[in-house]
Every structure is written in C-alpha cells, then in structure tokens.
Amino acid sequence: MAGFFSELKMHFKQGNALKRFIIANAVVFLVVALFSVVNRLFLGVFDFASFFSLPSKPIELMYRPWTLISYMFLHTEIFHILFNMLWLYWFGTLFLQLFTEKQLVALYFLGGVAGALMFVLVYNTLPFFANQAGFLQGASASIMAIVIATAFRIPDFSIRLFLIGEVKLKYIAAATILLDLLSVTSSNSGGHFAHLGGAIFGYLFFLGYKRGHDITNGFNKMMDVLVSLFKSRPKTRMKVKYHRPESDQDYRNRRSTENKQLDEILDKLKKSGYDSLTTEEKKFLFNASKK
C-alpha cells in the first residue's frame, strides 16, 4: 500500500496539470467514499460529503467559503467521476495543444467558480427554486469551460465517438449546451445551470484570446505569487544579465507570428494526422502546450 501511494505521489509531482487534476479528483473520491463507509458502519451523523459541497444559500456559503473550491473536486458517484474524468482527459489533452498549462489551471478553477456563482444566483432569484435549497458537487462546470474554449478554438476538428463515428467539436459543444438547457428543470436543475455558467466562462476566455487578451492573466499572476511564497529557493551566486526589454509592438509581432505558425500546424494535424508533422513542427507544438 505504501508503494502505491509513493508511486501516486511521484506521478502527481511529475505529471502536468491535467494529470494532477485527474489524480486529485480520484483521490478525493476514494477518501470521501471511505469516510462514508466508516460513517455508516458506526452510525455516525457527520455527512463528510456535504461538508465540502457548495450550498445554494449565500449565508451558508459565507460560513463555508472553502466549498467554492472543494466542490470542484468532489464526486460521490462512480459514474459521475468516471464520465467527468474522461471528458477532462479528452478535451484537456486537446486544450494543451492549443493553449498553455497555466491557462488550463486557471480555466478549471475560474470556470468552476463561474458555475458556482450561476448555481447560487438561480437558486436565489428564479421562482422555480423558491423555498428550495441545494448542494453542488463535481468538476462538470470546470470541464465545461475547457470543452467550450477548445471547441470554439478548433470547431471543425473531429473526434471519433463510440457507435457514432467522426463528429466535429462544434456539434459536440452545441449538443452539450442544448442538453443542459433542456435539463434545467430536471432533478439536477442546479447542476445544469452550473454547467452553463462554466460554458459561458469558457466562451468568454475564447473571445478574449481571439482579441489578444487573456482573461486568466490575473489569476495566473496571483498563483505565481502564492507559489513563490511557499517555494524554497536554493542559495546561488548572484548573476546579473541585461536584456533589451521587448516593446509592445515586438511582443504583438512575435505573438502574431507564433499564432499563425500554430494555426498552420493545427490545420495540418487536422487534415493529415500527427504523424504527418515534421520534427520541428512537433517540437513547436509541444513547446506551445507548455507555455
């Protein structure tokens, strides 16, 4: 057992952000399931899962602010986490070929927050939810943000679905949003509204990217500051290097050239597959996914 956890820890440390998200969700699922079993065996009254679920009542959320983040990693049903992690893996892999790892992290958290805010908003404004209270669980809103951003970036890219065949991403995204809209009065109505909140944020991210503005910059800068506060730095000799600062125009020209080259590689990837890329193109695509 110790070897298993050591290996899991190694994969978490060495893996990229996508792999870490999947591992984190799986570990939380197992821990919550274990506590649930122990709680039932000893006839406990503490509901471990609800303690980390996002409440629909603002007053409860004020006293349990951690749920704004914890709910994004909380699943209590095996098929719920299985479906979510498959979607996260499929679309997260595509996302990292188009955007950076930092943007994936930011979109996961900010898309999840957008879904949570939508959930609380509709529960406290729509007559349909009058005198009702609910709890939100799962990574669906976060994943929807990633799905929508990816689908709008390469709408005509096709993936093969079981029993269906080749389907373009734009149709998958449209079908997913339509199903959520048609399900907003179902037994999981709050969850479907949360999905739509995540989808809206994913679309806003794409719009900003298209116009040359990254709406995740503020979040990423904040995360860089937090990481630097907790990261130990080895003592090294001071080295001073002087670089000519890059002007705004130089930056825009460089980004325009890189985006054009990336679009050309993606078009080639879509038409002829990964094996058709040259070594330089594969290296460029790999480096672009790591920025």
Nearest CA among 212, 87, 197, 90 for reference residue 136: 197
**Mean pLDDT, rounded, of the chain:** 85
| Residue 122 backbone phi and psi in degrees, to 5 | -70, -35
Per-residue model confidence (pLDDT) at position 49? 81
Average pLDDT over residues 31-40: 86
Per-residue model confidence (pLDDT) at position 260? 80
Nearest CA among 66, 100, 122 for reference residue 217: 100
Per-residue model confidence (pLDDT) at position 62? 94
Average pLDDT over residues 59-81: 95
CA distance 83 to 90: 11
Per-residue model confidence (pLDDT) at position 235? 53
List 136's β-bridge partners, or say none: 54
Per-residue model confidence (pLDDT) at position 270? 74
Share of the chain above pLDDT 90, in %: 55
pLDDT in tens, 203-225: 999 999 999 898 999 998 898 88
Output the six-digit token pair for 93.
Answer: 């892999």
Task: Specify the DSSP element, H or E, that contains 135.
Answer: strand 135-136
1, pLDDT greater than 60:
no
Q: Distance between alpha carbon 124 and the CA centroid of its chain, in Å?
A: 26
Per-residue model confidence (pLDDT) at position 137? 95
| Residue 60 backbone phi and psi in degrees, to 5 | -70, -35
CA distance 16 to 103: 12
291, pLDDT greater than 70:
no
pLDDT in tens, 80-136: 999 999 999 999 999 999 999 999 999 999 999 999 999 999 999 999 988 888 999
Per-residue model confidence (pLDDT) at position 12? 63
